[in-house]
């Protein structure tokens, strides 16, 4: 049985998207951490971009928490909680904040891992506007997200190079993040396509 797409459906799809995006960022960061620890194990002042993997846990909890405690999603489990209302934010505001935090988190990871030109996290920038379209965000918001991403991409393209002795080539992490972003955009696009 096919139904119409409503806010509860959109917020549930956003929850799945955010979980997958958080997992992609975490795996990419852990991959870099493992590569850094292997390559620089005997250095006193070695780079340690991978140490930010734990920060991604906080990022995931905040973004997923915003979606779970949005008014539309909490309405789905209100029959189980009786008269207690767990909503803390409107679903449209939650989506906006989650996309903004995704842009900020990705920008920080891109900056820390060599800038837009070298970072394995750069592909995440380019799936976020597509995800916004899939989740039925307004055109104004998609334009805002795209402009913010374009600006951050340009600012981080000129990130100063690290000492060549401390550089790693994160080919495996770049390959994983790129292909995982492609797969995520295809899956979300397929699931949210009009039927």
Specify if 44 maps to a domain: no
Q: Assign 3-class secondary structure to 86-109.
A: CCCECHHHHHHHHHHHHHHHHHHH
Q: Assign 3-class secondary structure to 15-31.
A: HHHHHHHHHHHHHHHHH
Whether the per-residue pLDDT at 195 is higher than 80: the answer is: no
pLDDT at 1: 41
pLDDT at 171: 61
Specify if 43 maps to a domain: no
Specify if 180 maps to a domain: yes
pLDDT at 101: 96
Q: How many domains does the chain have?
A: 1
| 81-133 residue pLDDT tens | 777 777 889 989 999 999 999 999 999 888 887 787 778 888 888 889 888 88
Q: Report the chain's mean pLDDT, rounded to a whole number.
A: 79
Instruction: Compute the distance between CA of residue 72 and CA of residue 70 in angstroms, rounded to an integer.
Output: 6
What is the pTM assigned to this prediction?
0.77
Q: 64 lies in which domain range?
A: 7-37+51-161+170-191
| 35-59 residue pLDDT tens | 766 655 555 545 555 566 677 888 8
Q: Which of 4-8, 76-80, 98-102, 110-114 has the highest mean pLDDT?
A: 98-102
Instruction: Compute the distance between CA of residue 95 and CA of residue 65 in angstroms, rounded to an integer.
Output: 11
């Amino acid at each position: 049985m096919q139904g119409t797409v409503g806010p509860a459906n959109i917020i549930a799809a956003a929850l799945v998207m955010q979980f997958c995006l958080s997992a992609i960022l975490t795996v990419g960061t852990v991959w870099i951490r493992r590569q850094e620890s292997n390559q620089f194990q005997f250095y006193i002042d070695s780079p340690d971009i991978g140490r930010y993997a734990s920060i991604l846990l906080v990022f995931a909890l905040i973004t997923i928490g915003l979606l779970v405690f949005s008014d539309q999603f909490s309405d789905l489990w209100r029959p189980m909680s009786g008269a207690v209302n767990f909503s803390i934010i409107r679903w449209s505001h939650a989506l906006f904040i989650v996309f903004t935090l995704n842009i900020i988190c990705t920008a920080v990871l891109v900056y820390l891992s060599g800038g837009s030109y070298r970072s394995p996290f750069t592909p995440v920038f380019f799936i976020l506007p597509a995800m916004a379209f899939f989740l039925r965000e307004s055109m104004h918001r998609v334009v805002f997200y795209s402009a913010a991403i374009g600006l951050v991409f340009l600012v981080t393209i000129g990130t100063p190079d690290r000492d060549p002795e401390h550089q790693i080539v994160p080919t495996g992490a770049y390959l994983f993040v790129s292909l995982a972003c492609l797969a995520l955009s295809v899956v979300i696009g397929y699931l949210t396509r009009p039927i």
